[in-house]
């Protein structure tokens, strides 16, 4: 679940092992480049060698940046600082038990109609059908627990979280089943991230907004998956098991398919995976030292 609410929707992200390895390995490359550039000879051959070393440093930084987003937690309200196993996760969140960004308590609250996580009420236009609610619970579990969303993490710069997900490629089946099972649910808004009346402490429909069935608010599956959380998800025609889309639902006995998906997009661009700030600072420092 992702909405922007009164107190805040969906905590701190520290430098993990991947970034430490990055500093070690790329740091060695930076030192090699620096030593090469200190040479006083000015021959064309030596200049070519210097540029070659600089190219190696850039390649090292790019490679390490891609690796660093493959197993991470976003800097948001309830996320752990880094992923790891949880002895117990509740209900639908159990899929991420072996490697999770959520705690057991967060996983339990994800299943409540109105939990302390964000004070968000699913039943703002009457009781949400159970088959529809299961998809929103799964959406919340994916958001809170998955360590495989790194390629789609963007800055949020809000009071309650510094990072969010953007345009996560959702598998066709996951989006369309979500839409089909929620056709008879009722809501008054297509974007649940903002625009609510929070004067009571929980979300209520703003004045002038009528409650309508989902099928009128979200005429197509893409409308639901993309609009409801401000483009957190992107509708795709990719299928489960193809390695090109994120699955909300999977059988943990067969492993987590989203690991391979994150690796694919980290290597090929999400559109373009954002390099961690530490990586950019390292490259900048290395280049400045050569001037």
Cα→Cα distances 59→22, 30, 34, 36, 78, Å: 12, 11, 16, 17, 34
Residue 110 near residue 117 (C-beta atoms within 8 A): yes
pLDDT of residue 157: 74
Instruction: Give Cα 267 distance to the centre of its chain.
Output: 16
pLDDT of residue 153: 93
Question: pLDDT in tens for each of the 291 residues of the chain?
Answer: 555 444 444 433 333 444 444 444 455 555 554 555 454 445 655 655 555 555 555 444 444 445 578 899 998 888 999 999 999 999 999 999 999 999 999 999 999 887 778 889 999 999 999 999 999 999 999 999 999 999 999 988 777 778 999 999 999 999 999 999 999 999 999 999 999 999 999 999 999 999 999 999 999 999 999 999 999 999 999 999 999 999 999 999 999 999 999 999 999 875 534 444 444 555 555 555 555
Residue 94 near residue 252 (C-beta atoms within 8 A): yes
Q: Cα–Cα distance between 25 and 283 in angstroms, integer?
A: 12
pLDDT of residue 119: 86
């Amino acid at each position: 679940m992702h909405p922007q609410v009164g107190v805040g929707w969906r905590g701190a992200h520290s430098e993990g092992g991947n970034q430490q390895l990055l500093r070690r390995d790329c740091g060695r490359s930076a030192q090699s480049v620096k030593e090469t550039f200190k040479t006083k000879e000015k021959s064309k051959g030596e200049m070519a060698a210097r540029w070659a070393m600089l190219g190696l440093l850039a390649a090292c930084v790019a490679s390490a940046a891609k690796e660093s987003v493959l197993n991470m937690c976003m800097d948001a309200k309830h996320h752990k600082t880094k992923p790891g196993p949880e002895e117990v996760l509740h209900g639908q969140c159990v899929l991420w038990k072996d490697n999770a960004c959520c705690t057991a308590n967060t996983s339990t609250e994800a299943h409540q109609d109105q939990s302390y996580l964000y004070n968000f009420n699913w039943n703002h236009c009457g009781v949400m059908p159970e088959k529809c609610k299961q998809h929103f619970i799964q959406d919340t579990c994916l958001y809170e627990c998955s360590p495989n969303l790194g390629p789609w993490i963007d800055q949020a710069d809000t009071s309650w979280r510094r990072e969010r997900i953007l345009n996560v490629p959702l598998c066709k089946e996951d989006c369309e089943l979500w839409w089909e099972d929620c056709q008879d649910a009722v809501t008054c808004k297509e974007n649940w991230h903002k625009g609510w009346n929070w004067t009571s402490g929980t979300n209520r429909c703003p004045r002038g907004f009528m409650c309508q069935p989902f099928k009128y608010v979200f005429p197509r599956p893409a409308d639901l998956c993309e609009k409801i959380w401000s483009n957190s998800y992107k509708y795709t025609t990719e299928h489960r098991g193809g390695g090109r889309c994120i699955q909300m639902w999977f059988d943990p006995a067969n492993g987590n398919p989203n690991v391979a998906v994150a690796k694919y997009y980290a290597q090929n661009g999400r559109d373009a995976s954002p390099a961690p700030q530490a990586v950019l600072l390292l490259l900048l420092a290395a280049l400045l030292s050569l001037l």
